[in-house]
């Protein structure tokens, strides 16, 4: 039925490849492309696909080179799981070659630690004119968190006033310091100012300055969660009518925070080039090279993640409603299935599902779309079927320290 190209062979790319190979009736041919071809070759061996798999080296920042590869291999869809810096270049190449597009993280310029949808939303007219579809942010957060929100709106809280997205990782890899996904992107995200969306305006807080303990469901224990800016706050603010407040919270362990503080204090999180022995180096990129590869954490990580959305508002009769939808994912079970920890797994599975819904026409359109613009039901059904089952609690699980 469909030939897809997966760009990026890191932690997330590996899960996407495994999961696409599990659905051969939809993904009838898989092309793996990344900067380093040997990673694609290794992955091709690992996934044991029943469908043809080919591998290529490509620099996705080189638009003519990627366009040439797309024209030669003719996929109907590119699943972009390289880094956010590549988003616009891959979208450009898709437009040149007439290929649909999906990603899991919004564009971020290399020289500014800032992510916003404005750059990708600006492609709306070009994708529409070309009769192509681009689905933005089909990971877990962003991604499933938007689908959880529209599910809550459709079935439980018809007029949503407030949402709190809560991302907890109760797992541990046992290493002094490592990030669960791309170290550079992770550190840029966490060290940015906190921001939340309130009545159409952004409210700013100092980095990691607002925190609260959160008792996770399913007896998973208690963790401290911190207010962060996250990209889906922007698209949910735009698309969920009547929404008054949207916030995002993430858990961090003391060890992680201790290392992060030192990294910041000594300037290793700097994203501007520094002259060293006659060479220009970017401290955060050098640091990322020294840290463990997220893809190597799979066998080490134990414990569970718990990510969910709490929505509060009213039903059609004006009665107050509040509910929490969440997924719990076990790091070791993920490793047994696809040789990756749960952070890559919870991102890669929704990327495969978004692609599947596009290819089967269950989610369709021309232009650039966010996840909350589509019917959540087929996505929710697919989550349960493909390894990320979810549950609903019809009660308040979290009260924020700020209002
Ligand atoms: P990794 O760093 O593990 O892998 C990134 C991959 O992209 C590598 O294989 C790398 O190349 C490849 N790559 C980088 N630059 C280029 C380029 N110019 N051309 C071609 N390939 C390139 O990252 P992750 O797998 O952890 O993350 C992948 C994406 O998923 C990121 O955008 C991240 O932000 C996003 N993400 C989204 C989440 C969500 O819930 N929505 C959660 C976690 C991550 P090489 O072949 O040299 O290794």
| Ligand 1 atom at minimal distance to the Cα of residue 347 | 40
**What's the CA gap between 51 and 3, in Å, rounded?**
10
CATH superfamily ID and name for 144-338: Dihydrodipicolinate Reductase; domain 2 (3.30.360.10)
Q: What is the pLDDT of residues 99-127, one digit of tens each?
A: 999 999 999 888 877 788 999 999 999 99
pLDDT at 172: 92
Ligand 1 pocket, mutate which of 182, 183, 188 (most atoms under 8 A from CB): 182
What is the CATH number assigned to the segment(s) 2-136? Answer: 3.40.50.720
Q: How far is the CA of 175 from the centre of ligand 1 (A)?
A: 21
Q: Quick one: three-class SS letters along 346-396?
A: HHHHHHHHHHHHHHCCCCCCCEEEEHHHCCHHHHHHHHHHCCCCEEEECCC
Diameter of the chain by CA atoms?
69
**Cβ-proximal residues to 317 (8 Å cutoff; 6+ apart), any chain:** none
Q: What is the pTM of this model?
A: 0.95
Pocket perturbation via mutation, ligand 1, pick of 59, 78, 181, 343 by most ligand atoms within 8 A of CB? 181
Residues with CB under 6 A from ligand 1: 7-13, 34-36, 39, 58-61, 81-84, 86, 104-105, 139-143, 181-182, 185, 294-295, 343, 347
Give per-10-residue mean pLDDT for the chain (403 aa): 94 96 97 98 94 98 98 98 97 98 94 86 98 98 98 98 97 92 87 93 95 96 96 96 96 92 94 95 94 89 97 95 98 95 96 98 98 98 98 96 79
Q: Where are the domains of the chain?
A: 2-136, 144-338
pLDDT tens, residue by residue, 289-315: 999 988 889 899 999 999 999 999 999
Atom index in ligand 1 nearest the CA of residue 37 equals 46
Round to the nearest angstrom and report the end-to-end CA distance of the chain.
50
pLDDT in the model for residue 275: 96
């Amino acid at each position: 039925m469909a030939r897809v190209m997966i760009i990026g062979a890191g932690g997330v790319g590996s899960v996407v490849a495994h999961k696409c190979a599990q659905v051969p009736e939809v993904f009838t041919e898989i092309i793996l492309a990344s900067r380093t071809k040997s990673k694609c070759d290794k992955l091709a061996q690992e996934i044991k696909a029943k469908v043809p798999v080919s591998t290529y080296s490509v620099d996705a920042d080189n638009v003519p080179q990627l366009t040439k590869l797309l024209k030669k291999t003719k996929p109907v869809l590119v699943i972009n799981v390289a880094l956010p810096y590549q988003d616009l270049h891959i979208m450009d190449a898709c437009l040149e070659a007439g290929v649909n597009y999906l990603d899991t993280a919004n564009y971020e310029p290399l020289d500014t630690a800032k992510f916003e949808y404005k750059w990708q939303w600006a492609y709306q007219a070009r994708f529409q004119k070309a009769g192509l579809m681009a689905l933005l942010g089909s990971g877990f957060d962003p991604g499933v968190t938007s689908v959880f929100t529209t599910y809550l709106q459709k079935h439980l809280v018809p007029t949503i006033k407030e949402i709190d997205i809560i991302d907890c990782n109760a797992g541990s890899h046992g290493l002094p310091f490592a990030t669960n996904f791309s170290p550079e992107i992770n550190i840029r995200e966490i060290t940015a100012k906190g921001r939340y969306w309130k009545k159409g305006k952004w409210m700013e807080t100092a980095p990691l300055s607002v925190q609260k303990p959160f008792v996770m469901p399913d007896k998973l224990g208690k963790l401290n969660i911190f207010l962060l800016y996250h990209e889906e706050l922007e698209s949910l603010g735009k698309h969920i009518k009547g929404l008054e407040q949207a916030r995002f919270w993430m858990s961090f362990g003391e060890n992680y925070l201790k290392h992060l503080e030192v990294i910041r204090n000594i300037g290793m999180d700097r994203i501007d080039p520094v002259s060293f022995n006659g060479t220009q180096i970017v401290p955060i990129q050098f640091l990322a090279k020294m840290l463990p590869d997220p893809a190597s954490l799979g066998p080490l990580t134990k414990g569970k993640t718990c990510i969910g959305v709490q929505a509060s508002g009213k039903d059609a009769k004006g009665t107050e409603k509040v509910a929490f939808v969440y997924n719990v994912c076990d790091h070791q079970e993920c490793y047994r299935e696809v040789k990756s920890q749960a952070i890559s797994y919870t991102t890669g599975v929704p990327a495969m599902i978004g692609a599947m819904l596009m290819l089967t026409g269950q989610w369709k359109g021309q232009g650039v779309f966010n996840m909350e613009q589509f019917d959540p039901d087929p996505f929710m059904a697919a989550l349960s079927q493909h390894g990320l089952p979810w549950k609903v609690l019809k009660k308040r699980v979290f009260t924020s320290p700020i209002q």
